[in-house]
Amino acid sequence: MAVDPRWPVALFRGAVPVALGLLLWVAMAGGEQERQQTLKAQPEADAASLSQRRRHNELIMAALREAAETDDNVAQRRVPWRK
């Protein structure tokens, strides 16, 4: 049984994009550790700003939760939200 001469070419053409994708993935993953170290070294990574950011996120989640639970248009409310 003879092998069609187009098969090796087709396999090569299919393998090239996969190989390029793998090379790009390896290149991006290599810089991830440096990025993590840079983020840890930023001045905003101290405990006070982290707790402030956490509190801010809690307030936003509370507002979203309230908006999901009510039929009122919470976008029209004044800034100090009251129930």
Q: Domains of the chain: which residue ranges? A: 46-76
Is residue 67 a contact partner of residue 74, using CB atoms and an 8 Å limit? yes
Three-class SS state of 29: helix
- 82: pLDDT strictly greater than 70: no
Tell me: the pLDDT tens digits for 21-63? 999 988 888 777 788 888 777 777 677 888 898 999 999 999 8
pLDDT for 19 equals 95
- 67: pLDDT strictly greater than 70: yes
pLDDT band of 83, cuts 50, 70, 90: low
pTM equals 0.40
Nearest alpha carbon to residue 64 among 74, 56, 72: 74
pLDDT for 55 equals 94
The Cα-based distances of 16 to 7, 12, 19, 28, 31 in angstroms read: 14, 6, 5, 18, 23
pLDDT for 13 equals 93
